[in-house]
Amino acid sequence: MADIHDLEIGAPAPFLPPWENAVRTARLIDSLGYDSMAFPDHFAGFIPESIWTPDITPLALLQPSPHTYFELASLMGACAVATGHVKLLSAVTEPLRRHPVLLAQTFLTLDHISNGRAIMGIGAGEAVNVEPYGISYSAQVGRLREALEIIRLVWQNEGPFDYEGRFWRLKRAVMSLRPVVLGRPPPIWIAAHGPKMLQTTAEFGDGWIPTLLDPRDYAQRLKVIQRHRARAGREGPFTPALWNWYILDDEMTECERMMHTPLARAFALLYPASEWRRLGFSHPLGEDFYSLRDYVPMRYDRETMLSAIEAVPDEILHRFYHIGNAETLIREMEEYVRAGLRHIIVWNATGMFDLNKVRSSYTILKEVLAYVKG
């Protein structure tokens, strides 16, 4: 029976310039004993420029735009060279901007650069990163499924191979690059929440990396995946993972204060309208609002966003964020482990809401890491 000391803990990877700061942070994450670094794959962020102003967040004084990201594969490769132990996880990429064969080649390359530490975290994509750039977001789940079939095909055969799908067709295609350890390609962790995506995770995934699930919901959806895996005869290793947002302080009143800042409220708008309804509220951006499908922040003016921020109730904030001190986090992680969790990415958002809390919040995380690692 697993306990909290079996839990792996990851941290978000640095993704902002300057590179000198990013590589220093990557080396620090590695040296502290984190199990993974999770790299976002974004063109744009989730905060509109219309509210990226000093009165909403002091970060606007330090970073001129909320839409600044290093490119995923280049950054993962550079951080692989700069580190020696930590796993490198894309959290998450998708096959809408990147052709499936390119994804297969990219992660085989990262497998070599990192000596087997790369993990392909992949999902169906987000409208914010595709629609503004002239790429269709339609049939994204079907596209993901075909992409996973192609990636597996490439990793298992040097070719030439054919593939006849609805979205991609390959004719006498070849890819002779093999994993650094033959027969052991990078693990695939799939970001999934809905029924079709959970089934896809069971059929193609070596791991699962959702977000914004409480322990009860997490356990229920993991059981769905496990049932599908059993029916498909999949018995290999499988890593149930999770990405959570944290606000950390020894004083709960301070956590509450930071959680109610305008920027924290703005991020909580990502919580889907279906969950708002379940708690008895209407989402201010639409009754059927689903952020992955509907949210393109550049389309929202300041007045609309300020009104939406004010409409975020306490109940939604408490669902979106995990708050507290080291003891609180450890108790909660134990509950997730009982639900089946084996790898958690801790997004410490504290410093985004109060720059003076950066150091103290990471001190709390060090306590948690020390306890979990025994």
What pLDDT shows up at residue 159? 87
Q: CB–CB of 18/69 below 8 Å?
A: no
Q: Which two tokens stand for residue 122?
A: 């992949």
Task: Centre a 10 Å sphere on the Cβ of residue 164 and count the other Cβ atoms it contains.
Answer: 8
Per-residue pLDDT of the chain (374 residues; tens, 9 = 90+): 789 999 999 999 999 999 999 999 999 999 999 999 999 999 999 999 999 999 999 899 999 999 999 999 999 999 999 999 999 999 999 999 999 999 999 999 999 999 999 999 999 999 999 999 999 999 999 999 999 999 999 999 988 999 999 999 999 999 999 999 999 999 999 999 999 999 999 999 999 999 999 999 999 999 999 999 999 999 999 999 999 999 999 999 999 999 999 999 999 999 999 999 999 999 999 999 999 999 999 999 999 999 999 999 999 999 999 999 999 999 999 999 999 999 999 999 999 999 999 999 999 999 999 999 98
For residue 265, give its domain range.
4-372
Burial of residue 159, with CB atoms counted within 10 A of its CB: 0-12 exposed, 13-18 middle, 19 or more buried = middle
Query: Coil, strand or helix: which one is 133?
Result: helix
d(CA 189, CA 39) in angstroms, rounded, equals 13
Look up residue 357 and give its DSSP letter. G
Residue 188 pairs with which residues in a beta bridge? 120
Nearby residues of 373 by Cβ (< 8 Å), 6 or more positions away: 5, 33
Cis peptide before 128 (omega within 30 of 0): no
For every residue of 177-189, DSSP letters joined together read: ---SSTT-PPPEE
Query: What's the number of domains the chain is made of?
Result: 1
Helix (H) or strand (E) run with residue 153 in it: helix 140-156
C-alpha distances in angstroms, 82 versus 11, 16, 75, 92?
A: 16, 16, 10, 21
d(CA 158, CA 154) in angstroms, rounded, equals 7
Q: CB–CB of 207/192 below 8 Å?
A: no
Beta strands 161-164 and 169-173 are antiparallel
Nearest to 248 by CA among 263, 240, 258, 238: 258
Whether this model's pTM surpasses 0.85: yes
Cis peptide before 210 (omega within 30 of 0): no
Task: Centre a 10 Å sphere on the Cβ of residue 224 and count the other Cβ atoms it contains.
Answer: 15
Q: Which two tokens stand for residue 221?
A: 């959806």
Q: Determine phi and psi for 320, rounding to 5 degrees.
A: -75, -45
d(CA 159, CA 178) in angstroms, rounded, equals 12
CA angle 99/83/176 to nearest 5° reads 35
Q: Determine phi and psi for 86, rounding to 5 degrees.
A: -65, 140
Residue 90 pairs with which residues in a beta bridge? 39
Q: Which two tokens stand for residue 178?
A: 């093999």
What pLDDT shows up at residue 53? 96
CATH of the domain at 247: 3.20.20.30
Beta strands 169-173 and 188-190 are unpaired
